[in-house]
Amino acid sequence: MRRTIGTLASGLALVAALSACGGDPAPRFEAEPSAEPTTASPSASAEPEPWEERTPEGAVAFAKYWTATFSEAFKTGETTALDEISAKQCEGCNFFVALIREVYDGGGSIDGDAWQFVNAGWSSPKGNESIVAVTGTMRIPAQTIRRSGEEASEAAPLTERYIFTVSWTEGRWQTTELVREA
């Protein structure tokens, strides 16, 4: 059973879950690609980044890239890059963008090491590699959220399973759904 974003109401929400409503993809675990994504903009070079490939392995690399981009956004408060790689209908993505903006626009900050998406595998509807479910373990480090005029809230580190549903749209991957497995 999956839990939705409802458990994320407090400032500790950033660490509690990345989730949204959705279907039940049946993950199939494959070998994890060895290249780690970076938070750089899409490559203009002739050689695409692993997460720019329209393959299931590219989808796995993209889920890691999304996580790195999210981690950078919560450290800086800048959500433009995260918005660009998240589909408008992605409730989990929208929730985290709104939380980051609320904290930073109010003069606050979010501190903690980067989240890491590891042990990832993929599944895809038969004959449709444009939609890929990527399942893996999210390592969420301790986080501190400081809101202006409030006492800082702290959360302990967590390790949880997540499903990213990513879709190849207009020549690139986008996260269309984030679900925390419960």
Residue 38 in tokens: 């970076």
- What is the pTM (predicted TM-score) of this model? 0.76
At 90 the pLDDT is 97
At 44 the pLDDT is 56
- pLDDT single digits (tens) 155-176: 999 999 999 999 999 999 999 9
Mean pLDDT of 133-139: 96
Beta bridge partners of residue 2, listed in sequence order: 181
Are 161 and 180 in contact by the 8 Å Cβ rule? The answer is yes
Are 124 and 131 in contact by the 8 Å Cβ rule? The answer is yes
Query: Hey, what's the torsion of the CAs at 74, 75, 77, 79, to 10 degrees?
Result: -60
In whole angstroms, give the CA distance from residue 38 to residue 173: 15
Q: What is the mean pLDDT of the chain?
A: 81
Are 19 and 178 in contact by the 8 Å Cβ rule? The answer is yes
- pLDDT single digits (tens) 24-61: 444 443 444 444 444 445 555 578 899 999 999 999 99
- Identify the residue with better confidence: 124 or 80: 80
Sorted by where each starts, the structural domains of the chain and their CATH numbers stand as: 2-44+54-181 (3.10.450.50)
Whole-Å CA distances, 53 to 61, 62, 123, 132? 9, 9, 16, 13
Mean pLDDT of 91-101: 94
